[in-house]
Structure 1
Amino acid sequence: MGDWIRELIEQSSYLGVFLLMLLETVFPPIPSEIIMSLSGLQAARGTMTLWGVILAGTAGAMVGNVLWYAFARWLGYDRFKPIIDRWGRWLTLDWREVKRADAFFDKYDHWFVFLGRMMPTIRSLVSIPAGLFEMPWREFLIWSTLGTLGWTTALAVAGYELGSRYAQVDEWLGPVSTGVIIAMVAYYVIRVFTWKPRED
């Protein structure tokens, strides 16, 4: 996967970084760890600036974040409840749990969005509860941007400092991302087999 990502970055420069991070946010299996560390490597070689790479990556990710947020905001409670009623078994959610999640989000929304943006795999899903539970646009943009900026900066700087050894970034973060995905899938499977709906 790294080869075509590297080629796109080399050929399209900042636009390539922007588009790759946008795609990564919409389709999480594309690893931001490789995208941003390779971009940092290119900055170390002098073909781009480090800050240009960081800003392009952050901007691309934020466009994807906003798209997911806008979709979830449009979906809203009214459209979401029939989905829960019909597909709750496979979503492993009932309306009581949605209300509990809403109460949790009202209390910790800033931290959830900020810290969630810096967690592999999960970072791409943060926009959905933020939109569904109607986190204000301004606060969503502020905290998402700060978290996303922190994530892209860490990865780009790692690639920049490691130089040609950028693969070491993926050697460490790659298994973490894979572990998160495996844990989420395992948790979902367990939930499907043990879940029982509860009344409001």
Structure 2
Amino acid sequence: LGELSISIEQLKVILLTHQDLDHIGCATDIRKKSNENIIVYAHEFDKPYIEGKLLLIKTNASRMSNEELAAIPDEIKYLYTNPPKVDVDIVLKGSQMLPYCEGIEPIFTPGHTPGHVSFYLRKSKTLVAGDALVFANGQLMGPVKQTTLNMDQAVHSLEKFLHYDIEHVICYHGGYFQGCPKEAILRIKEHIAQGES
């Protein structure tokens, strides 16, 4: 934010794509520094996990063996035993248009988590993919199998992107891709189909 000369006080909303601790991140700290005026959005299926009412599905320390916990670096282990949480003000469900950036459309893309959401910014034709897509080695790829709860559902969710006029994709893992993701999505689907046969 500092590099972009944007102050926390200028922020109006936080759009959470899903419940993973690296996506909830410092939402609570941002909210506190902004005098808690920021509105937090998240999907209804991930809301109880984001708010800390249920333990995060993938980083639940109580479900991990002593060996698994021992393998986590100490500076990260704290997050597993004390995951971030934030209150969700507005629940995303069904189709709706958010009145920011001249129109942001949430796209329900479950699979990586039950309530994973991607966001389409109409004016700039930008897809914020969350973890539905990953950008690595110069190309778009599907969600990471090891961290995706339901891979079949996640790949099926990608088909929703084919209905949008996308020119830019922002992936949480890997960053910015310029272009339409259609070719990549069809390649991902074909690769999965070949792997299953």
TM-score after normalising by structure 2: 0.23
- The higher relative CO (CA closer than 8 Å, separation ≥ 6) is in 1
The structure that is helix-richer by fraction is 1
TM-score after normalising by structure 1: 0.23
Higher radius of gyration, 1 or 2: 1
